[in-house]
Structure 1
Amino acid sequence: MAAISPQLADDLWQTATVLADAARAAILPHFRSAGLETESKGAAGFDPVTVADRAAERAMRDLLAVHRPQDGILGEEYGPQPGQSGLTWVLDPIDGTRGFMSGTPTWGVLIAVADESGARLGLIDQPFTGERFEGGLGRATWRSPHGAGPLAARAPRALDQATLFTTFPEIGSAAERAAFARVAQEVRLVRYGMDCYAYALLAAGQIDLVIEAGLHVYDVMAPIAVIEAAGGIVTNWQGGPAHEGGQVLAAANAEVHAAALARLNG
């Protein structure tokens, strides 16, 4: 993992803030609007994208061309753009488009900076509620219209006292659903349909676990950085790195992570 100087870290955070503000401005006029343009980009099944997704990513890419032209970009809507610096901006303009088009505030803007080792900086922004969660490069903070403070994941507790979130109850394959069920039947509370907001709440100390499958790189990079900065753990279902997506187990601490990992594999 290459060192990042304090000056570079400040520049990256300033740029991330500019991107998040621009994404908010591009997205909010379309949220809960009667004329929202939606189409499916999936060859099989419903994989929605909206005019807001594309406008937000375009706005962020245009700003990166000005502020950080030497960096690479990997975005959900417009794909990869190579860079020369060794750093890549990983952008998901609206994580949770199904929630967005349904009017729920569980979606968010995901912005990360990654290098060959994985996520170095992450930002989860919920434009409608005005909440922003930031982690990495010396920062672990949240702020909203109601206040601000440090991020800190929950202290250890028994699995039967834990709260587990996921987005889809029909998680992954039949085998993945069975593995998820082994954890879900032991925890105190399970909630569904949370999109990236689940990861933000884990970093904020509100819940204990997020378990998902079938994720992409742009779904996980920002949450990994935010949760790790808050003292949590994010791995795949085998306990290895999760920054390439796929199966993800996010946990507030090592103890609840180990308990959930054992049930997933057993």
Structure 2
Amino acid sequence: MNGLSLRDTTHEAKLRHIKKELKCVIDAVTTVVFVPTCYYAFPSPLYWLIIKPETAQQKLYPEALPTLDPCPEKLVVFAIALADAARPISMSYFRTPIQAEIKHDKSPVTIADKEAEAKMREMIEAHFPEHGIFGEEYGPVRTDAEFIWVLDPIDGTKSFLIGKPLFGTLVGLLHKGRAIAGIVDMPALDERWIGATGYATKFNGMPVSTRSCNSLSEAWMLSTSPEMFVGENQTAFHRLKDKVHFLRYGTDCMGYGLLANGYADIVCEADMSPYDYIALTPVVEGAGGTITDWRGNPLNLKNDGTVLAVGDKNLLKPAMAALVC
């Protein structure tokens, strides 16, 4: 990074430089957390700057977020650690000749999925044994717990299998049924979104925000695959598709990160499971967006599998009107 001498290697010097780089929002920095990882530009420990929610809202997306209790910092740090642990496992198998099993729902699963989730579960059991776990590969435990970790070790296994780098690891955390923290990690792209209630969403360490969009006719929409939509859902999706400016497929979980960064306006999907969308919720909301099911209900473990995310909250009602007639 410009301005950082090779000799200026103390943590204090690095922090001073980060603060200079973030001068546009530096008065919002309230806490520095040391995370044992080498994910970002600096060697460990990493500085994860937590942004005061009220300042983030004023500077990044006024009136976009409701007043929320901030997610406990130690849980955000632990969520990052889970993603850090899963990343080298998935990358060790990426673009190697591995076989896939076909699950009962006809979706593929690989040894990478299983090992990455097993590692994250092991860490949760060691550090928070009272917490619940809802994972894609090994099922739920303690789902009556106050806190529940929702894990998708490889979101986009089909992309992973064909060597396409648009797969991700999703780490979500529910508190009393509400998503309060989410990590969208893209191992092959070295990109990561961190979302937590009460804080601005961060993309590779920098705050991001959604963009404004005045109407569906101007909206850029993303979705993973047309195969997600069957029957009435297919008809409903086509109604919305016909109203937006254009649609692009093939994004998997990355589409929600792109929406958070302000590159797209709508993500619309169906046939989703909780481990597909819980982690996405704080990422979208922390950037100023809104994410619900197609009827506007908050996302939790009991939704119908439909997901609608919008960057501009003014798009939510017209998008829902197109989907639900």
- The answer to whether the superposition gives a TM-score over 0.5 is yes
1:171, distance to aligned residue in structure 2 (A): 3.0
Q: Cα deviations across residues 19-42 of structure 1 (Å, max 9, x unaligned)?
A: 101000111011111x21211112
Q: Does 1:198 align with 2:198?
A: no
Distance 1:220 1:228 in 2: 12
> Over residues 214-241 of structure 1, what are the superposed CA-to-partner deviations in whole Å (9 max), with x where a residue is unaligned?
1111111000111111111111111222
Q: Which residue of 2 aligns with 1:47?
A: 107
For each residue in 1:132-168, what CA deviation from the matched residue of structure 2 results, as whole angstroms up to 9, or x when unmatched? 1011133333344xxx411211113221111111112
Q: Quick check: 1:131–1:142 contact (8 Å CA) kept in 2?
A: no
Decide which of 180, 202, 227 is 1:170's aligned counterpart: 227
In structure 1, how many angstroms separate the alpha carbons of the residues matched to 2:144 and 2:277?
A: 23
Q: Aligned partner of 2:163: which letter?
A: G
Identity of aligned residues (%): 39
Confirm whether residue 151 of structure 1 aligns to residue 208 of structure 2.
yes
Segments of structure 2 that go 5 or more residues without pairing to the other structure are: 1-67
Residues 73 and 81 in structure 1, CA contact (< 8 A), matched pair in contact too = yes
Q: Which residue of 2 aligns with 1:71?
A: 131
- The structure with the largest alpha-carbon Rg is 2
1:83 CA drift (Å): 6.9
1:227 equivalent in structure 2: 284
1:85 positional shift:
5.4
* Counterpart Cα distance in 2 of 1:213 and 1:234: 13
2:79 alignment partner, SS class: helix
Answer yes or no: is the 8 Å Cα contact 2:197–2:282 preserved in 1: no
Output the amino acid matched with 1:136: A
SS of residue in 2 equivalent to 1:214: coil
- Pairing of 1:63-142 with structure 2 (within 5 A): 63-82=123-142, 86-142=146-202
- Do the aligned partners of 2:132 and 2:144 also contact (CA within 8 Å) in 1? yes
Q: 1:41·1:48 contact (CA, 8 Å) conserved in 2?
A: yes
State how far apart, in whole Å, the 2-side matches of 1:80 and 1:117 are: 14
RMSD between superposed Cα atoms in Å: 1.8
Which residue identity lines up with residue 66 of structure 1 in the other structure?
Answer: A
The one-letter amino acid paired with 1:239 is: G
Provide the C-alpha distance between the structure 1 equivalents of 2:215 and 2:144, rounded to a whole number of angstroms.
Answer: 46
Partner of 1:241: 298
- Give structure 1 stretches of 5+ with no counterpart: none
Whole-angstrom distance in 1 between the partners of 2:195 and 2:80 = 12
Q: Find 1:256's aligned residue among 306, 315, 321.
A: 315
Report if the CA contact (8 A) 1:9-1:137 is conserved. Answer: no
SS at match of 2:243: coil
Of 30, 40, 51, the residue aligned with 2:93 is 30
Return the alpha-carbon distance in structure 1 between the equivalents of residues 241 and 114 of structure 2.
Answer: 35
Q: Which amino acid aligns with 2:275?
A: Y
Contact preservation (8 Å) 1:71, 1:89? yes
**Aligned-residue offset at 1:256:** 1.2
Mapped partners of 1:178, 1:102: distance in 2: 30
1:58 to 90, 94, 118: 118
Contact kept? 2:294, 2:308, Cα under 8 Å: yes
SS in 2 for 1:140: coil
Partners of 1:110 and 1:226 lie apart in 2 by 11
Stretch moving more, 48-57 or 184-193: 184-193
TM-score (ref. length: structure 1) = 0.90
Instruction: Say if 1:190 and 1:86 are closer, same or farther in 2 by CA, change over 3 A.
Output: same
Aligned counterpart, 2:23 = none
- Is contact 1:236-1:247 (8 Å) kept? yes
Greater CA deviation, 125-134 or 148-157? 148-157
- Which of 6, 14, 27 does residue 77 from structure 2 map onto? 14
* Bigger Cα displacement from structure 2, 64-73 vs 190-199: 64-73
CA–CA distance in 1 between the matches of 2:291 and 2:226? Answer: 20
Relative to total residues, which structure has the larger strand share, 1 or 2?
Answer: 1
Opposite residue 28 of structure 1, the aligned amino acid is M
Q: Distance in 1 between matches of 2:230 and 2:146?
A: 35
Paired residue type of 1:22: A
Moved more, 47-56 or 108-117: 108-117
Residue 180 (structure 1) aligns with:
237
**2:101 aligned partner, one-letter code:** E
